[in-house]
Amino acid sequence: MNARKKVAFCTLGCKLNFSETSTIARNFRDEGFDRVDFKEQADIYVINTCSVTENADKRFKTIVKQAQKVNPDAFVAAVGCYAQLKPKELAAVDGVDLVLGATEKFKITDYINDLSKNDFGEVHSCEIEDADFYVGSYSIGDRTRAFLKVQDGCDYKCTYCTIPLARGISRSDTMQSVLRNAKEISEKGIKEIVLTGVNIGDYGKGEFGNKKHEHTFLDLVSELDKVEGIERLRISSIEPNLLKNETIDLVSKSRAFVPHFHVPLQSGSDTLLKKMKRRYMSELYTDRVLKIKEVMPHACIGVDVIVGFPGETDEIFLETYNYLNELDISYLHVFTYSERDNTEAASFNDVVPKNIRAKRSKMLRGLSAKKRRAFYESQIGTEREVLFESENKEGYIHGFTENYVKVKSPWNPELLNTISKVNLTKIDDDGLVRFNFLD
């Protein structure tokens, strides 16, 4: 009797990639494979790639080497955004046997035969115009919360972004499928579902293969809130121009949606927002933040921001810094601009030197730490509900409140994947919050 083959996965990038890796892993399981950790010996290693930044590209070669070090004879496959954008480049990396593009990645088991190493990486990637159909996915069994994909692709033309080239046009899962997947997740004991996609505020477009909206994001949020068994729902990231007052109001009164929003800004300068071809100005962004805080004063608001975009002078950077400093937000995700092939911004003049980009990135990360500390301090003395994570980190268990305050407590395995009422008491030296149980 032949031993079952083993497969290992490494996921780079966003929550959407994690949801898709999990779905691909289930396909392997259905084909008789056992999943193991990426650090363990496996017969096949699958790397789900990202190409949002230059660093994600560079990490790929390092990860391939790590896999080869564990098992030099293992079959190595690359899927995901980088695999769609630069398939030949990935195929040329020593040790890579198979590269699959946007439409092929969910059929990976069809492309694997005897797992023999190839002299050269075999490429199967479509023209991105062919990525016009939807494949649903969600992550489960990997962590305390599940990432539920509701939308894919993007019709926006931001001048710095390769995502439309890597994932194709905006298209959505059907409402029926999303609700069914959410129910399946809740029945497996997962306490929190995070909605994910490329541009989830665009939900409904392409739901039944056409461009018109059969449903809206507001419809989706409203229907998900009614699904029994789901204890927490979280919106991963939503464009400010697509975050409507009605959605904010619904979340504020929701049974399951938590008061946490992640809203990309990219720049506090209207000059750069126009150059980036974003679909809003800073005034609209300010309005979104004020609306959230008006109906949910305790809400956590995260912000994406890019530093070092072409044309970002010292004055324009300070405009962004001061804008964010004065805004009632909770933390920043800071991205240092990196030139991406086949984007409009790659040909722009007024390039910001990389050492200046790094300096500005450091300044904004410092601002983020300050903002997070101030938000945590504002929550001390309040009563919250914590979902505890499943990992023992140096003798502590960690968790997140509904409004995304990270807490810590001495390790207790009985707390795993449970929600407890607590009173937040103080901030530790490591910036995490201590608490007392109220149950």
Q: Say yes or no: do domains 129-258 and 259-378 share a fold.
A: yes
Q: Kindly report the backbone phi and psi dihedral angles of residue 207, in degrees, each rounded to the nearest multiple of 5, phi listed first.
A: -60, -40
Average pLDDT, rounded, for the chain: 92
Contacts of 266 by beta carbon, 8 Å cutoff, 6+ apart: 158, 272, 273, 276, 278, 304, 305, 306, 309
Q: Which range among 60-69, 124-133, 255-264 has the greatest average pLDDT?
A: 255-264
Q: What is the pLDDT of residue 112?
A: 84
Let me know: does 322 contact 367? Beta carbons within 8 Å.
no
Q: What is the pLDDT of residue 125?
A: 72
Q: What is the pLDDT of residue 57?
A: 63
- Tell me: pLDDT of 210 over 80: no
Q: In the chain, where are the structural domains located?
A: 6-126, 129-258, 259-378, 383-437
Q: Kindly report the backbone phi and psi dihedral angles of residue 163, in degrees, each rounded to the nearest multiple of 5, phi listed first.
A: -60, -45
Domain 259-378 has CATH 3.10.28.10: no
Return the higher-pLDDT residue of 57 and 82: 82
CATH (one of 3.50.50.60, 3.30.750.210, 3.40.50.1370, 2.40.30.30) for 129-258: 3.30.750.210
pLDDT digits (tens, 9 = 90+) for 88-109: 989 999 999 999 988 889 889 9
The predicted model scores a pTM of 0.91
Alpha-carbon span 170 to 174, nearest angstrom: 13
Task: Fold for 6-126, please state it.
Answer: Rossmann fold (3.40.50)
pLDDT digits (tens, 9 = 90+) for 230-259: 999 999 899 999 999 999 999 999 999 999
Longest CA–CA span in the chain (Å) reads 70
Q: What is the pLDDT of residue 213?
A: 78
% of the chain with per-residue pLDDT over 90: 75
Query: How confident is the model over 191-207, as a mean pLDDT?
Result: 94
Q: How confident is the model at residue 126 (pLDDT cuts 50, 70, 90)?
A: low
pLDDT digits (tens, 9 = 90+) for 284-326: 999 999 999 999 999 999 999 999 999 999 999 999 999 999 9
Q: How confident is the model at residue 130 (pLDDT cuts 50, 70, 90)?
A: low
Alpha-carbon span 154 to 237, nearest angstrom: 14
% of the chain with per-residue pLDDT over 70: 95
Query: How confident is the model over 430-438, as a mean pLDDT?
Result: 95
Q: What is the pLDDT of residue 207?
A: 86
- Tell me: pLDDT of 1 over 60: no
- What type of residue sits at position 75? F
